[in-house]
Amino acid sequence: MTAPDRRLNAYRPDLADIRPKGEIDAAKFVSGEAAEIVVAVADLKGTPDGSAGVDHQLLMGDPVEIFERMNGWAWVQSVRDGYVGYVRQDVLGAAGPKRTHIVAVPRSFAYPTDDLKSAPVQPLSMGCAVRVTGQTERRGTAYATLSTGQSVVAEHLRPLGEHAADYVAIAEMLERAPYLWGGASGFGVDCSGLVHLAMRMTGRDVLRDTDMQERALGEEIDPGAELEKLQRGDLVFWKGHVVIMTDGRNAIHASGRSMLVTREPIADAVARIAALYGPPTRYRRP
């Protein structure tokens, strides 16, 4: 029997989520405690260690289930995409009233008052969810007042239920954002994180890692002998990498070569990446 994917299932020999009880062995089973992310971006790690690499990132307002708290860390599962890992306890808060708006630009700021000249309290990423309680205007700029008392430029937000129509356009907004392994925010993304965040902004929650996306997103397509059948929005996968087609000839992706979200002709990408990963493994139309 194949063991459940530990990235998507909360289980260890000593402790596990109660839902798969009977399918896995663990010394103790528990129900998750509902909570939410209360900082702009929270790093999700494979081990409770500050020096460990980042596997994924969760954004402000993301709901999680907590299975364990210990030594300043919490073992959690993201409700949005099922990813399991460890976050610092101080990024978590009790699940509160529903958030009303989402940051719809790559990056923004929360200010202590409705004044862009004031020192920002914190940066915010695309995808962060906030609770808006009012609106003010100063010097012609409209500000949304948050439940925290802070202010955000109102044009940087949109109501939570409104979604972008084109996930490729969102990816294009993130062009020149830095490459960050495990990144899934406006401050930095990796290749699958770019797909994850862009689709999230269209109201579509997708799995996080490249291999998961390659198995689950859309339908497999025939790209044609010269890749002539590819079109905007198609995904090209390699082992460990994915790019998004912006039209029939060009792609955008978070590139470990440039360390940026960058565009290049798909023919160039295929030739260059072949030396590292071999040829593309799959083409999918989400």
Tokens of 264: 């290049």
Strand order in the sheet with 129-130: 129-130, 101-103, 157-159
- Separation CA 152–CA 256 (nearest Å): 33
**Beta strand 16-17 with 92-94: parallel, antiparallel or unpaired?**
unpaired
Task: Quote the radius of gyration of the chain (alpha carbons, Å).
Answer: 20
**167-285 and 101-159 share a CATH fold:** no
Summary count for the chain: helices (H), strands (E): 4, 25
Tokens of 216: 């689950």
218-254, pLDDT tens digit by residue?
A: 999 999 999 999 999 999 999 999 999 999 999 999 9
Architecture of the structural domain at 16-94:
Roll (2.30)
**Quick one: pLDDT at residue 141?**
97
Tokens of 231: 């079109």
Cα angle 106, 242, 43 (rounded to 5 degrees) comes to 50
Tokens of 133: 């309680």
Amino acid letter, residue 140: G
CATH topology of domain 101-159: SH3 type barrels. (2.30.30)
Tokens of 266: 């798909």
User: Is residue 108 scored above 70 in pLDDT?
Assistant: yes
The percent of residues in the chain predicted with pLDDT above 70, rounded, is: 100
63-94, pLDDT tens digit by residue?
A: 999 999 999 999 999 999 999 999 999 999 99
| CATH number given to 167-285 | 3.90.1720.10
User: Is residue 1 scored above 80 in pLDDT?
Assistant: no
Q: Residue range 147-152: average pLDDT? A: 97
**Which residues, in sequence order, are bridge partners of residue 138?**
141
> Residue 75 is inside which H or E element, if any?
strand 73-78
The percent of residues in the chain predicted with pLDDT above 90, rounded, is: 95
- Separation CA 231–CA 252 (nearest Å): 13
- Separation CA 221–CA 284 (nearest Å): 5
Residue 169: closest CA among 108, 233, 124: 233
Residue 208 and residue 199 in contact, taking contact as beta carbons nearer than 8 Å: no
- Separation CA 137–CA 122 (nearest Å): 20
**Quick one: pLDDT at residue 7?**
97
- Separation CA 274–CA 278 (nearest Å): 4
- Please tell me the number of Cα atoms within 13 Å of 218 on its side-chain side: 16
User: Is residue 23 scored above 90 in pLDDT?
Assistant: no
For the chain, give every domain's residue range.
16-94, 101-159, 167-285
- Separation CA 194–CA 179 (nearest Å): 10
User: Is residue 118 scored above 80 in pLDDT?
Assistant: yes
